[in-house]
């Protein structure tokens, strides 16, 4: 089956309905936006755009796909023939990956024939949501680490191999310095990181033998895991022995890694022991179930740590693993649409929109308005084709770090106002549904 | 790049070390097990075995993979040539997918040349963890729903497209009745489910027109989403109108779906309105941010609900998105190994082991022991080749439901004892590390 079948069944049944009722080719605009920042994240960073555009460009159903759909005995006659010829021909406006984005601001705006715009909902939400979740968490970690590198170690706990790869990409985009995941490193040019696990230490008769074997194999790249038996009485002293042996042969020990216990106390003890042994250039790296709160604590306590390895909490977005992304119809055939909800904050914004960033905060307005500030949505696809090659990920990362550095110190600017014209349109449409604004 | 690069860098550096120190071909046994059930799950169901075996069978590095690794300027001379010829040649014993499993029981046991056993750690943990998390959550949902079907709707919030597909498979294995995800349905034979979203209703001038258009397209398969404007005053009455129109043309309305609001009260009101309109065979389905706790509440309140659509909480395993899976060395060259930890419950079990299930609980013992009960680990791979074709997923699901139905009513059997021989071995090894057992 092709990846074009990656959609909820109801997207296909709705397409069939639009087709049958003559609405499939109506021009529709959909917004993909999020409703609130994930718990534990203050500033959301948009991500996942490039994989999404790639998927859209390749959209098209194979013969196997169509045979499978036919086997469901569900769709009206003629629909699957029509579906077989379908390609994505729409236009996409989007926030560049790495842009800080506020709730209710479109991350993506899709204008396409209604049936196409509907079809792509599931995949777009899926791809933007997970990447944005991880990029935002990474950005938060980088902020609390205040310059100490964050290394992403989450492959084993991510949700599937592809989840791991996507997550590693997003973590780097959000500001991580490296990944443990080799396939992500290779595919996206992320620096790879890693040396040895407890299994290495246990595979040798004793810790010192294991350390020496590693140093012998990687004299230029040795970082030693010191907590397998007893960090202070065994691990660090053995690492110091190997550090001196490496120095005697013209090399140097790069670092030690603490993976358990009281990382604040242990990092201080290890730092002092290394310094007293003349190994003050040996780094102290820590890992072991770290998350934003734990990294913040260690940094605020001034623990002498040179790098944080963060895995599970980052790639599973453990604190809030579901991004509040939604994809809503905003306009059809030039007619603005909105979804009214019992909860006023869930009522959507009608019309084809743009977001302007200003020193006083963001403004959500209608795309044809001429407002002050920097427009955040850029056109990235026309007629179903990308308008530019995929940007270099390392450059995107650098831009993300810049944009976040600009905005993060100014929470007073993290506000979204609606333009008077958008407000008026919203009020008018709510009135036709018998709702007063805010009711 | 090939999927064989899906590994943490440290697996490759350790392999290089084993190779250089002459240990690459040492025979080693690793156990993959979990430490505790995820929050919100009482009984864990093992899953993810088939994708794992497929990955192992295909293991092998491409020229591109090797060129990339060479470009890191990290590995000792000769290692990459050796790596280029490597295939997985080990044996695997495993719990069949869908087996209820207790903490510390091996879900997988890998015996292979040390370097191979080490290499596969990341991928095995990744694949077993996410699938087991979702299968366990699905099993829990099925238990609290007491016979009312659970439909899995999580594709848009799962962690990546592949995560969604894997998650849909695991959810079905754990007992879900259907998925919204078409590619998972097609690839794994899961029944697909879905009709229309709010966007459909909004794309028409009014709700009744939208309902009629759907019923006209799918007269045999109409389920109507009734909460876009006002469930009780508009949605249900319009659905009743269309139900009568369908009946008049020899069809019938299959169901309505409530996606927001007080589902307990609304399902009762909707049920009563449908019954009074002579539509007592029309089902009431509900969805909207459901999870185990919410489904339990609705079932215990006897709300008249015929199906639960559960998405985000299931496929993101929201309550606890990180499975506590670990992969630990248990034996090398016939020498049993254990990892001692500051936390006694984290000390591992040495030796090549088997699990026996008995009416008095499970027993963890050494594989060569002859203990009473049913052994749970079956050999599924020898010499790197699967010993049997992949079982049919629907059959696996039926077996999972049976096994869970047997065990779930008897929490007194959810206990794990160690055999006297395993206990003695553990005590002996702890003593050599200077630890008293339990210290």
Q: Could you give the dihedral angle defined by the CA atoms of residues B427, B428, B429 and B435, in that order, rounded to the nearest 10 degrees?
A: 60
- In order of B96, B151, B173, B187, B395, the CA distances from B392 in angstroms are 12, 20, 10, 12, 5
Compute the distance between CA of residue A217 and CA of residue A204 in angstroms, rounded to an integer: 14
Compute the distance between CA of residue A265 and CA of residue A63 in angstroms, rounded to an integer: 62
Give the pLDDT confidence of B256-288 residue by residue, as tens digits: 999 999 999 999 999 999 999 999 999 999 999
Nearest CB to A260: which of B11, B125, B342?
B342
pTM of the full structure:
0.96
Grade residue A376 by pLDDT with cuts at 50, 70 and 90. very high
pLDDT above 70 covers what percent of chain A? Answer: 98
- Domain covering B144-315: architecture: Alpha-Beta Barrel (3.20)
SS3 labels along A4-62 = HHCCEHHHHHHHHHHHHCCCCCCEEEEEEEECCCCCCCCCEECCCHHHHHHHHHCCCCC
Grade residue B345 by pLDDT with cuts at 50, 70 and 90. confident
Which of B17, B118, B180, B208 should one mutate to test binding to chain A, selecting the residue with the greatest count of A CBs within 10 A? B17
Give the pLDDT confidence of B354-409 residue by residue, as tens digits: 999 999 999 999 999 999 999 999 999 999 999 999 999 999 999 999 999 999 99
pLDDT above 70 covers what percent of chain B? Answer: 98
Burial of residue B249, with CB atoms counted within 10 A of its CB: 0-12 exposed, 13-18 middle, 19 or more buried: exposed
pLDDT, position A1: 85
pLDDT, position B436: 43
pLDDT, position B230: 93
CA distance B398 to chain A (A): 22
Compute the distance between CA of residue B175 and CA of residue B169 in angstroms, rounded to an integer: 10
DSSP β-ladder status, A44-45 and A100-101: antiparallel
Compute the distance between CA of residue B94 and CA of residue B378 in angstroms, rounded to an integer: 5
> Across the interface, do B182 and A8 touch by the CB < 8 Å criterion?
yes
Searching chain B, which residue's CA lies closest to the CA of residue A335? B203
Compute the distance between CA of residue B284 and CA of residue B240 in angstroms, rounded to an integer: 12
Searching chain B, which residue's CA lies closest to the CA of residue A225? B10
* Average pLDDT for A296-303: 98
> Across the interface, do B182 and A6 touch by the CB < 8 Å criterion?
yes
Q: Could you give the dihedral angle defined by the CA atoms of residues B145, A13, B183 and A66, in that order, rounded to the nearest 10 degrees?
A: 140
Question: Does the pLDDT value for residue B30 go beyond 70?
Answer: yes
Q: Give DSSP secondary structure letters for B177-209.
A: -EESBHHHHHHH-PPB-----HHHHHTSSSHHH
Searching chain A, which residue's CA lies closest to the CA of residue B234? A433
Searching chain A, which residue's CA lies closest to the CA of residue B70? A186
Nearest CB to A17: which of B213, B313, B339?
B213
CA distance A374 to chain B (A): 30
Mark B178-206 as b/e (b = at least 16 C-beta within 10 Å). Answer: bbbbbbbbbbbebebbbbbbbbbbbbbee
SS3 A184: helix
Nearest to B223 by CA among B256, B271, B180, B263: B256
CA distance B218 to chain A (A): 7
> Across the interface, do A203 and B23 touch by the CB < 8 Å criterion?
yes
* Average pLDDT for A8-22: 96
* Average pLDDT for A30-37: 97
Compute the distance between CA of residue B226 and CA of residue B255 in angstroms, rounded to an integer: 10
Nearest CB to A199: which of B194, B321, B329?
B329
Compute the distance between CA of residue B68 and CA of residue A293 in angstroms, rounded to an integer: 36
DSSP β-ladder status, A335-336 and A325-332: antiparallel
Give the pLDDT confidence of B210-249 residue by residue, as tens digits: 999 999 999 999 999 999 889 999 999 999 999 999 999 9
pLDDT, position B343: 72
Compute the distance between CA of residue B272 and CA of residue A385 in angstroms, rounded to an integer: 51
CA distance A324 to chain B (A): 9
* Average pLDDT of the residues of chain A: 95
Q: Residue B291 in contact with residue B310, Cβ under 8 Å?
A: yes
SS3 labels along B25-93 = CCEEEEEEEECCCCCCCCCEECCCHHHHHHHHHCCCCCHHHHHHHHHCCCCCCCHHHHHHCCCCCCEEE
Nearest CB to B163: which of A26, A160, A216?
A160
> Across the interface, do A316 and B159 touch by the CB < 8 Å criterion?
yes
Compute the distance between CA of residue B426 and CA of residue B332 in angstroms, rounded to an integer: 15
* Average pLDDT for A122-147: 98
Compute the distance between CA of residue A332 and CA of residue A25 in angstroms, rounded to an integer: 10
> Across the interface, do B195 and A10 touch by the CB < 8 Å criterion?
yes
Mark A396-426 as b/e (b = at least 16 C-beta within 10 Å). Answer: bbebbbebbeebbeeeebbeeebbeebeebb
Compute the distance between CA of residue B223 and CA of residue A95 in angstroms, rounded to an integer: 36
CA distance A122 to chain B (A): 5
* Average pLDDT for A347-364: 96
pLDDT, position B338: 81
Grade residue A439 by pLDDT with cuts at 50, 70 and 90. very low
Which of A12, A161, A226 should one mutate to test binding to chain B, selecting the residue with the greatest count of B CBs within 10 A? A161
The DSSP letter of residue B150 is E
CA distance A227 to chain B (A): 9
DSSP β-ladder status, B178-179 and B108-113: unpaired
Q: Taking CB atoms and an 8 Å cut-off, how many pairs form between chains A and B?
A: 306
Give the pLDDT confidence of B32-60 residue by residue, as tens digits: 999 999 999 999 999 999 999 999 999 99
Superfamily holding A145-315: Aldolase class I (3.20.20.70)
Strand partners, A416: A362
Compute the distance between CA of residue B107 and CA of residue A2 in angstroms, rounded to an integer: 32
Each domain of chain A, given as residue ranges in start order, spans: 3-134+323-432, 145-315
> Across the interface, do B328 and A199 touch by the CB < 8 Å criterion?
yes
* Average pLDDT for B88-101: 98
How many other CB atoms are found less than 10 A from the CB of residue A439?
9
Strand partners, A335: A332
> Across the interface, do B213 and A339 touch by the CB < 8 Å criterion?
no
Grade residue A434 by pLDDT with cuts at 50, 70 and 90. low
Query: What ipTM does this complex have?
Result: 0.94
Residue carrying structure tokens 């039926």? B398
DSSP β-ladder status, A44-45 and A361-366: unpaired
Grade residue A402 by pLDDT with cuts at 50, 70 and 90. very high
pLDDT, position A359: 95
**Distance between alpha carbon B114 and the CA centroid of its chain, in Å?**
28
Nearest CB to B13: which of A203, A218, A261?
A218
* Average pLDDT for B402-426: 96
Nearest to A322 by CA among A122, A130, A102: A130
Element (H, E) at A284: strand A283-286
Contacting residues of A for B159, CB less than 8 Å apart:
130, 158-160, 163, 166-167, 316-317, 321
Burial of residue B413, with CB atoms counted within 10 A of its CB: 0-12 exposed, 13-18 middle, 19 or more buried: middle
CA distance B66 to chain A (A): 11
- In order of B50, B98, B139, B179, B380, the CA distances from B398 in angstroms are 16, 9, 12, 17, 20
The DSSP letter of residue A261 is S
Compute the distance between CA of residue B419 and CA of residue A337 in angstroms, rounded to an integer: 67
Question: Does the pLDDT value for residue A437 go beyond 50?
Answer: no
**Distance between alpha carbon A340 and the CA centroid of its chain, in Å?**
29
Contacting residues of B for A69, CB less than 8 Å apart:
182
Searching chain A, which residue's CA lies closest to the CA of residue B262? A342
Grade residue B253 by pLDDT with cuts at 50, 70 and 90. very high
| Of the listed ranges A200-209, A370-379, B227-236, B314-323, the one predicted with least confidence | A200-209
Searching chain A, which residue's CA lies closest to the CA of residue B225? A10
pLDDT, position A342: 65
CA distance B410 to chain A (A): 30
Question: Does the pLDDT value for residue B341 go beyond 70?
Answer: no
Nearest to A100 by CA among A173, A207, A157, A17: A173
Contacting residues of A for B129, CB less than 8 Å apart:
156-157
Give the pLDDT confidence of B143-187 residue by residue, as tens digits: 999 999 999 999 999 999 888 999 999 999 999 999 999 999 999
Query: What's the CATH class of domain A3-134+323-432?
Result: alpha beta
CATH number at B3-134+320-432: 3.20.140.10
Nearest 5 degrees, angle CA A264-CA A208-CA B424? 90
Grade residue A308 by pLDDT with cuts at 50, 70 and 90. very high
Question: Does the pLDDT value for residue A316 go beyond 60?
Answer: yes
Compute the distance between CA of residue A278 and CA of residue A259 in angstroms, rounded to an integer: 23
Compute the distance between CA of residue A277 and CA of residue A92 in angstroms, rounded to an integer: 59
**Cα atoms in the Cβ-side hemisphere of radius 13 Å centred on A96:** 21
Per-residue tokens: B20: 């250089």
Strand partners, B225: B257
pLDDT, position B22: 94
Searching chain A, which residue's CA lies closest to the CA of residue B350? A202
* Backbone dihedral angles phi then psi of residue A242, each to the nearest 5 degrees: -70, -35
Searching chain B, which residue's CA lies closest to the CA of residue A75? B218
* Average pLDDT of the residues of chain B: 95
Strand partners, A363: A356, A417
Grade residue A79 by pLDDT with cuts at 50, 70 and 90. very high
**Cα atoms in the Cβ-side hemisphere of radius 13 Å centred on A8:** 25
> Across the interface, do B14 and A163 touch by the CB < 8 Å criterion?
no
Grade residue A346 by pLDDT with cuts at 50, 70 and 90. confident
Q: Could you give the dihedral angle defined by the CA atoms of residues B165, B169, B172 and B178, in that order, rounded to the nearest 10 degrees?
A: 40
Burial of residue A146, with CB atoms counted within 10 A of its CB: 0-12 exposed, 13-18 middle, 19 or more buried: exposed
């Amino acid at each position: 089956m092709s990846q074009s079948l990656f959609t909820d069944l109801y997207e296909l049944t709705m397409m069939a309905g639009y087709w049958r009722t003559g609405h499939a080719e109506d021009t529709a605009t959909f917004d993909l936006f999020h409703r609130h920042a994930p718990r534990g994240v203050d500033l959301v960073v948009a991500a996942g755009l490039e994989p999404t555009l790639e998927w859209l460009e390749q959209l098209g159903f194979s013969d196997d796909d169509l045979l499978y759909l036919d086997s469901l005995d569900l769709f009206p006659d003629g629909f699957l023939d029509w579906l077989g010829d379908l390609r994505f021909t729409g236009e996409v406006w989007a926030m560049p990956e790495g842009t800080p984005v506020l709730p209710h601001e479109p991350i993506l705006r899709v204008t396409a024939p209604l049936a196409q715009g509907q079809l792509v909902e599931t995949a777009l939400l899926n791809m933007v949501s997970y990447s944005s979740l991880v990029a935002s968490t990474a950005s938060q970690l980088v902020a609390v680490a205040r310059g100490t590198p964050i290394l992403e170690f989450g492959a084993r706990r991510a949700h599937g191999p592809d989840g791991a790869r996507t997550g590693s990409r997003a973590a780097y985009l959000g500001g991580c310095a490296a990944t443990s995941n080799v396939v992500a490193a290779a595919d996206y040019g992320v620096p790879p990181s890693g040396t040895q696990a407890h299994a290495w230490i246990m595979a040798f008769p004793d810790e010192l033998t294991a350390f020496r074997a590693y140093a012998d194999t990687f004299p230029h790249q040795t970082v030693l895991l010191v907590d397998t038996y007893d960090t202070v009485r065994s691990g660090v002293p053995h690492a110091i022995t190997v550090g001196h042996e490496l120095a005697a042969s013209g090399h140097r020990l790069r670092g030690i890694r603490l993976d358990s216990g009281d990382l604040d106390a242990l990092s201080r003890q290890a730092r002092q022991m290394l310094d007293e042994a003349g190994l003050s250039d040996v780094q102290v790296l820590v890992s072991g179930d770290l998350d934003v709160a734990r990294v913040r604590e260690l940094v605020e306590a001034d623990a002498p740590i040179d790098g944080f390895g963060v895995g599970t909490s980052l790639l599973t977005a453990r604190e809030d693993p579901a991004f509040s992304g939604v994809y809503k119809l905003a306009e059809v055939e030039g007619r603005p649409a909105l979804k009214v909800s019992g909860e006023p904050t869930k009522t959507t914004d009608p019309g084809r929109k743009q977001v302007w960033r200003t020193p006083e905060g963001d403004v959500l307005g209608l795309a044809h308005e001429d407002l002050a500030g920097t427009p955040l949505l850029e056109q990235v696809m026309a007629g179903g084709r990308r308008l530019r090659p995929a940007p270099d990920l390392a450059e995107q990362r650098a831009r993300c770090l810049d944009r976040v550095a600009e905005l993060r110190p100014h929470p007073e600017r993290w506000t979204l106002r609606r333009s008077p014209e958008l407000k008026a349109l919203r009020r008018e449409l709510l009135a036709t549904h018998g709702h007063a604004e805010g009711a």
